[in-house]
Structure 1
Amino acid sequence: MIDVPIVLAGYGPVGREYVELIRRHRARWRDTYGADLHVVAVRGRQSQVRVDGAVPSRGQWDPAGEFAELLAGARVLAQAVPSDGSDQPALDALQALQQGAHVVTATKSHLLTHWRKLDEAARRAGRSVRISGATGAAMPAGDLARSVLRGFDVRAVQGCPNGTATFVLDQIAAGHGLAGAVVDAQRQGIAEADPTADLSGKDAATKLRLITGLLWGWDPADVAVAAEPIREPLPPVPEGHRLRQVASAQREEPGLVRVELRAEPAASTFGALLGPEKAISYDCGEAGTVAVSGGRSSPRGAALAMVKDTLGAVLEATTGFH
């Protein structure tokens, strides 16, 4: 039996779902996988709490102390903090790796800025960094890029990794205005309060940048982005097609991710997506095209991806981002 004490950074919607999933399924996963996952501490922005069973209410938390002390004995650091550009997630992840813990993260910002440092630190420590929650929530696009397509001649990757964009474009096609489509997406819990990253193509580009890091070893910090935003008026769409926000990268065009609005046949992988669904397609040369679609875009979906990564990190003998 592998004992897996976990320190969780971030206790928002994703963090709470992660804790609840582990609480609910701990015994089953222990019996099925031989790994005993349990959260031993939770860290917020300015406070923290050690956990033995249920997470106490925030009023019972202590002021944040030395993170190294909180990490002592942890096998995994799970990160579910906002991608706000702060250096703290990177510093926390590097500290965890130095102390011998794997890192599982749904946070994107430090992956864009500290990819090389995180990879090097993880390899030195013989630990892994798992990022499924940052590349597609419950859709296992990152797993394909990281390991499933290992040995395949992957020449290009493209996809619709932003569910909000797909939903908004379909709503506009149904006769709604852009503003109304965004409000509807927010009302249904699909879009963030600030949808700028979704509409501009930034979020889709970020996910592709991370996937190219897993796939081809590109450093996301060095990847340029050419993005076409969603704005009115939208380009015309031929009959039998649906407009999609498609992010793409090619191995022979290193260091560049494109995001464009593209008319896709309604029966195609991207055209057939409904509402907030996502899809990624890999051109694998002689092996053909391999695609994955679906997966819930929600706090529960991201938390499930983190659980999958937590199990993978402790059960598989890999280091770094692979």
Structure 2
Amino acid sequence: MTVKIAFVGFGGVGQGLLRILQERKEKLQKEEGLDTQVVAVSDLMKGSVYDPEGLDPEELLRLASEKRPLDEYNGRSTTVKGLDSLETIRDTNADMIVEVTFTDVKTGQPAIDHCRAAFEKGKSVITTNKGPVAIAYQELQELADKNGAFWGFEGTVMSGTPALRLPQETLRGNTIREISGILNGTTNYMLTEMEKGLSYDGALTKAKEQGFAEADPTSDVEGYDARYKAVILANVIMGVPLKAEDVACTGITEITQEKLQEAISEGKRLRLTAKITRTESGVKAAVSPEKLAQDNPLAGVQGATNAILYDCDLAGPIFLTGAGAGLTETGFSLLIDLIHSERRKAAVRQT
């Protein structure tokens, strides 16, 4: 069975997934029985194009690489242009929506509306957008379940590193007592560089030069990005409906070389950590700089790498580390969800 895909948003991550689907087409068909067909693309800046008989992926990637509008797509008599994002979701023959629009973690929009529109039509969604998961997880998951749709968002926490899939599948049967992690590569890179002698401003400048920090780094350095990821982990893995305002948050803007060296002199490392803990009074979460003992696996995490530590009652401590960003890695996270969605459908057909 062929999965008909519509991209809502077609920036670097969406293009990354499309390249992977093209490059691994034969492998995915042979190993997973996965056939895909892109039928629609809608992007706020690039425009939109839809063809129920399928679009040419190479042509889409060429237009994107040349920064040309989708209006220039060389279509057929069946090709339609100019649909907005909601029309692309509701009115095309796509059954899988790849939602990769800009993340707004304050409102979750327009991604929440995109997910809602898809689920109401019984269409599945895979996304790397933190907004809908951090703000409207319960509502959207219930809507997806009600309408038999799949919702995948592996890339919202650690990009292509399976921070959600691992506990949801491999660690099933455990009670996870605590999750702690370094969930923001920008700040970990900066702290590592400051340990080498750079000032805060110098480390931030270098992070921008290396492409790890945005022009406005507020979300990273104030801890907000890690806080929203903590909310996702609390909701999805701990099953507790925390909101961002429930998570105490302190970033790294007050961290100095002196504080870092003080930690090192104590045999520790200072890292920005997110921690979600089960207590007798419920689940609590916080993001803050923390002095970690040298035997804590998180203490050895260097540079822009992310890592997460699950404290399980049966399996004990389980440590996972990997890239927390990157176009290929984040595109791969969408592939993880796409494969899982198709495996789930295959299992249902066999019952």
Q: Same fold (TM over 0.5)?
A: yes
- Tell me the residue number matched to 1:45: 44
CA contact (8 A) 2:181 2:309 kept: yes
CA contact (8 A) 2:40 2:88 kept: no
2:133 to 111, 119, 123: 111
TM-score calculated relative to the size of structure 2: 0.84
Matched position secondary structure for 1:78: strand
2:112 to 90, 93, 110: 90
1:244 to 271, 277, 281: 271
Between the aligned partners of 1:188 and 1:73, the Cα distance in structure 2 is 41
Between the aligned partners of 1:173 and 1:110, the Cα distance in structure 2 is 36
- Tell me the residue number matched to 2:82: 63
- Tell me the residue number matched to 1:78: 98
- Tell me the residue number matched to 1:133: 155
Between the aligned partners of 1:220 and 1:89, the Cα distance in structure 2 is 20
Between the aligned partners of 2:295 and 2:243, the Cα distance in structure 1 is 35
Q: CA deviation at 1:36?
A: 0.6
Q: CA deviation at 1:104?
A: 0.6
The one-letter amino acid paired with 2:309 is S
1:201 paired with 2:207, answer no
Between the aligned partners of 2:313 and 2:70, the Cα distance in structure 1 is 56
Q: Could you say if the C-alpha distance between residues 86 and 246 of structure 1 is closer, same or farther in structure 2, counting changes exceeding 3 Å?
A: closer
1:312 to 315, 321, 340: 340
Matched position secondary structure for 2:24: helix
Between the aligned partners of 1:48 and 1:241, the Cα distance in structure 2 is 52
1:215 to 231, 237, 240: 237
2:288 to 252, 255, 260: 260
Q: CA deviation at 1:126?
A: 1.6
Between the aligned partners of 1:145 and 1:286, the Cα distance in structure 2 is 13
CA contact (8 A) 1:3 1:35 kept: yes
- Tell me the residue number matched to 1:171: 193
Q: CA deviation at 1:233?
A: 4.4
Query: % of aligned pairs identical?
Result: 25
Matched position secondary structure for 1:286: coil
1:151 paired with 2:194, answer no
Q: CA deviation at 1:268?
A: 3.3
The one-letter amino acid paired with 1:52 is D
Between the aligned partners of 1:208 and 1:86, the Cα distance in structure 2 is 16
TM-score calculated relative to the size of structure 1: 0.91
- Tell me the residue number matched to 1:292: 320
CA contact (8 A) 2:179 2:310 kept: yes
- Tell me the residue number matched to 1:34: 33
Between the aligned partners of 2:326 and 2:125, the Cα distance in structure 1 is 21
Between the aligned partners of 1:34 and 1:175, the Cα distance in structure 2 is 52
Between the aligned partners of 2:89 and 2:296, the Cα distance in structure 1 is 49
Q: CA deviation at 1:265?
A: 3.4
Count, aligned residues: 318
Between the aligned partners of 1:155 and 1:237, the Cα distance in structure 2 is 27
The one-letter amino acid paired with 1:76 is M
The one-letter amino acid paired with 2:303 is G
Deviations 1:11-56, CA, capped at 9 Å, x for gaps: 1111121121112212220111001123221111262112233216
CA contact (8 A) 1:222 1:255 kept: no
Q: Could you say if the C-alpha distance between residues 4 and 146 of structure 1 is closer, same or farther in structure 2, counting changes exceeding 3 Å?
A: same
Q: CA deviation at 1:272?
A: 1.3
Larger radius of gyration: 2
Q: Could you say if the C-alpha distance between residues 247 and 33 of structure 1 is closer, same or farther in structure 2, counting changes exceeding 3 Å?
A: same
RMSD, aligned α-carbons: 2.1
Q: Could you say if the C-alpha distance between residues 73 and 289 of structure 1 is closer, same or farther in structure 2, counting changes exceeding 3 Å?
A: same
Deviations 1:290-318, CA, capped at 9 Å, x for gaps: 11111352122111111111111121259
Between the aligned partners of 1:177 and 1:301, the Cα distance in structure 2 is 30
Unaligned runs of 5+ in 1: none
Matched position secondary structure for 1:186: helix
Q: Which shifted more, 225-234 or 175-184? A: 225-234
The one-letter amino acid paired with 1:191 is A
Between the aligned partners of 1:65 and 1:201, the Cα distance in structure 2 is 34
Q: CA deviation at 1:247?
A: 0.5
